[in-house]
Structure 1
Amino acid sequence: MTVPLLVLERFGIAFPGRGRVVPVVEDISLALRPGEVLGMVGESGSGKSITWQGALGLAGPGAVTSGRVLVDGRDVASADDHTLAGLRGRRIAMIFQDPMTALNPVLTVGRQIVEALALHRGLRGQAARAEAGRLLDRVGIPGGAGRLRAYPHELSGGMCQRVMIAMALAGDPAVLIADEPTTALDATVQAQILDLLDDIRRERGMALVLISHDLGLVAAMADRVAVLYAGRMVEAGDAGDVLDVPRHPYTAGLLAAMPAIHGPRRRLTGIPGRVPAPGEIAGGCRFAPRCGRAAPACRAHVPALEGGSHLVACFRPMTSAEACA
């Protein structure tokens, strides 16, 4: 068995608020191995992005983390800023949701890539500019060297996303976290960006975390899937198992809200209600107020995530027959 590059063990994040510490993510445990694609799915507010921001020390001032974050077997959950800065970009890189706001508007894209190369690989001068041009070529920007003097506002959204990928690759990371990498891009550009990420992963043997609310996208790329709801992992396992035979009612609800490409048209079924804000979470299963299968035990106790290779946190999980109906 390959040694994991990155492991989260009972990881949690909380923020101070109104005289108490409010948890926003709790008890997240997962491992990521070389070349693997992990899809993290859930509605907005489920805790997908903040989990990885917290693991990298990017959750902002006041964030309180718990549990362990193992990078190459070393716990960095309580590491200082200097140690984390050495890991970010070099071992673990992150592509943020909106490239138009993640890029600095007053610096050329070449300057921003060269800064990443200087920080992570010690390249400067002509060597750094040549490598920046090569990276732009690699991510599919034609005439990459000629684009180094362009500013972000001179590029399309798809081009800016490619620049963000080039910056992430500048440190030759072992793990790439892609946070909604195709947000606000049209369908053709989305497909190009996803193909690019997959090609780079295969070429470098890099592990990829794909954060998305798009189950179709995750189904096409992920080896394993983790489903988050209100800051907790409710289902996890091989992508085929989780998406073809979901056992948690929340996962089944997400799939029921997706239109089918093939077969007869059917009415989509939405999940009533909304994801609760961290300060609104009561006891018991967090999905119980929206779940049609909830029993009294669901409102009184928190279900454990268990089940071997296909994990589910539910007192009344769906059977295979129900999932396939």
Structure 2
Amino acid sequence: MMRRTDTTWAQVKVGVVLIFGIAAILYTIMNLNSGMGVFASAATFQASLDDSQGIKVGAPVRISGVDVGNVKGVLIDPGKGTVILSFTVNTEMRPLLHDDAAIMIRPMGLLGDKYLDLLAGSPKQPPLSDGAVLSGRGDAADITGVAGSATATLQNVDQTLRELKGILANINAGKGTAGKLVTDSTLYDHSAQLIRKVDILSEKTSHLLASIERGDGTVGKLMTDRALYDRATAAVGEMQKLGALLNQPDGTLGKLARDPALYQRLEGVTAKSEALMGKIERGDGTLGKLVNQDQLYKRADKVLSEVEGLIADIKKDPKRYFKFSVF
């Protein structure tokens, strides 16, 4: 019986050693995950923020992506309604913290785990004092917000797809302008006719250009006849000579163009001609009466009629008017 009791006690001792060993291993693993050595000391800090973003006790604390501690507690301040985070930082990292230090809660991945990002602050600021409460806020790029935005975006995409499906259904049914364009064969027939007309016009244009190149017709001769070009060049030369003559001050044309006396004389002649024409129109003078009074016309007509009658009578009986005698 004593041997059985001794064996039981030995087993108890082995069990206790195993329990302490497992606890030590777990403690070591937890400290390694927090970035702290097994026997390293840690400083405890607090931070106040509006939302914990679902961060849990044991979440790592990191400075510039390096694990330096872990979260020890997540509580709500009953008086202010804010979240109070307690976290530890390896004492070796304590000199890096300054008075403007702050925290941010960031996601570790798509699974929703969080970690505490400790912003050390500016080196120009004094070291962080003991008992200071750091300010913090949730990360703007929180995965929850991203998921919410993605959900809203998917809803908008779904709504757009439904509207697009309705538009395509209306088009297939021939509704609206787009539907008629797709389903109405009249537009196709008109387009085909227009294309044929364009082809005919293009063919006629090609024939016309070919005939012009061959020199057929008036346009073709204008484009290809060398003699016409020579005549046009000669005409331009004559015009240039005429311009030179006009520019000569001693010539007749030059004097007509430049001498005001000739112009004044021509203007005087024109005025006298206008006055003469006015008298004729009014019936003044012999010419005026000849032009405007029909009495003279009647008298002249009567005289001519009598002369014609006399000539006819003479032709009929010349002996009546002429007598010939030899002796």
TM-score with structure 1 setting the length: 0.18
TM-score by length of 2: 0.18
Relative to total residues, which structure has the larger strand share, 1 or 2? 1
Structure of greater relative contact order (alpha carbons < 8 Å, 6+ residues apart): 1
Structure with higher Rg: it is 2
